[in-house]
Amino acid sequence: MVELNKDMIISVVIPVFNGEHFIASAIESVLAQTYKNVEIIVVNDGSTDGTEEILKGYQDKITLLFQKNAGQSSARNYGIKKAKGQFIALLDADDLFVSNKLVKQMDLISKNNLEICCSEFETIVENDAFIRNVSVPALDMNQALDKFLEGNFICTSTMIFKKDLFEKLEGFDVNLQGAEDGDLWFRMLTTGARLGCVRENLLKYRLHSGNYSKNFFKMMQFRNKVHLRQYEYLKSKNMLNGKVSNQLLADSFAKQLSFEAAKFVLLDIPTQQRTLMNNINLILYTFLCTNLGKGFLLFLKRIKALLN
């Protein structure tokens, strides 16, 4: 049982690369937490803009680490390795904690003896304007893996987890340049770790041009790799059933075909051919989740419609 007390340290780890526009706001949102025994670790991942100068202004309030640019996973691993807290909270440099985030999550962790905890969140834009609320599906703490396999519903900056669980799994896979968070949550859940979710918006997740993938094709390929890795793991442990098997394979192939369709768009392939690829994507998903006959008939109908 996790006993919540005011002396328990929570380490908030913030990786940052060229985050001069938002890093100060992110740090301020942690300093404003109603849970006061917080260690803030900021890992400067080789920034070349004004980030370093901004961070110097917080040196008396944060633990500041520096590394040559090696990516977000490496920076998170480094920060967590240096953390003093029993629990780790993650925050991206462009997101914002709501002031009672840590209190709310640690209360749920304590009451339910959790190793992992996420929350719902809202999305904002560069000027902090609200876009929408993002909820999570109904969650049975003892069947979290099954729900996760239906789709990754966890936002990284909402996560709190036990440091010893993270260390047991050797952290984020630095060889993944996309979907590394979903890969880690999957590995955590396969240990039997209990996941809970606070059904309140405890994070403001910022959408802006700088946080979209600069290499969409590579991102899609890594997501596909993670799905297939999950499939192979579950297969090796005899944990597959028809629904899980079809879902993972369908997601993997659908993502791969989406990747191919995106190439068509960027290469300015004619609209008719792009539409054809989108339909093939849908048909393959239907084939994997239902049966060959239904998928093939749908395929023929779509092709006929496109050719007419």
**Beta partners for 160?**
89, 117
Structural domain harbouring 269: 216-307
pLDDT of residue 8: 87
Alpha carbon of 297 to those of 113, 277, 291: distances in Å?
50, 16, 10
Alpha carbon of 198 to those of 207, 251, 290: distances in Å?
22, 27, 34
Per the structure, how many domains does the chain have? 2
- Final residue of a domain: which of 163, 196, 211? 211
Question: How many Å apart are CA 199 and CA 295, to the nearest integer?
Answer: 38
DSSP for 142-208, please give it.
Answer: GGHHHHHHT-----GGG-EEEHHHHHHTTSS-TT-SSSHHHHHHHHHHHTT--EEEEEEEEEEEEP-
pLDDT of residue 137: 85
- Final residue of a domain: which of 193, 211, 229? 211
- Final residue of a domain: which of 211, 237, 259? 211
pLDDT of residue 151: 79
Do the domain assignments include residue 170?
yes
Q: Are residues 247 and 284 in the same domain?
A: yes
pLDDT of residue 117: 97
pLDDT of residue 78: 98
Q: Are residues 33 and 62 in the same domain?
A: yes
Q: Are residues 146 and 183 in the same domain?
A: yes
**Beta partners for 130?**
124
Do the domain assignments include residue 291?
yes
Q: What's this model's pTM, rounded to 2 decimal places?
A: 0.80
Low-confidence stretches of the chain (pLDDT beneath 50): 213-214, 259-270, 274, 281-296, 299-300, 303, 306-308
Could you tell me which residues come within 8 angstroms of residue 138 by beta carbon, excluding any fewer than 6 positions away?
none
Q: Are 12 and 89 in contact (CB under 8 A)?
A: yes
- CATH classification at residue 178: 3.90.550.10
CB neighbours of residue 300 within 10 Å: 11
Length of the chain: 308
pLDDT of residue 1: 52
Q: Are residues 43 and 148 in the same domain?
A: yes
Q: Are residues 302 and 178 in the same domain?
A: no
Q: Are residues 202 and 259 in the same domain?
A: no
pLDDT of residue 265: 43
Q: Are residues 138 and 280 in the same domain?
A: no
Largest alpha-carbon pair distance within the chain? Answer: 71
Q: Are residues 50 and 146 in the same domain?
A: yes
Q: Are residues 190 and 224 in the same domain?
A: no
pLDDT of residue 288: 45
Q: Are residues 178 and 225 in the same domain?
A: no
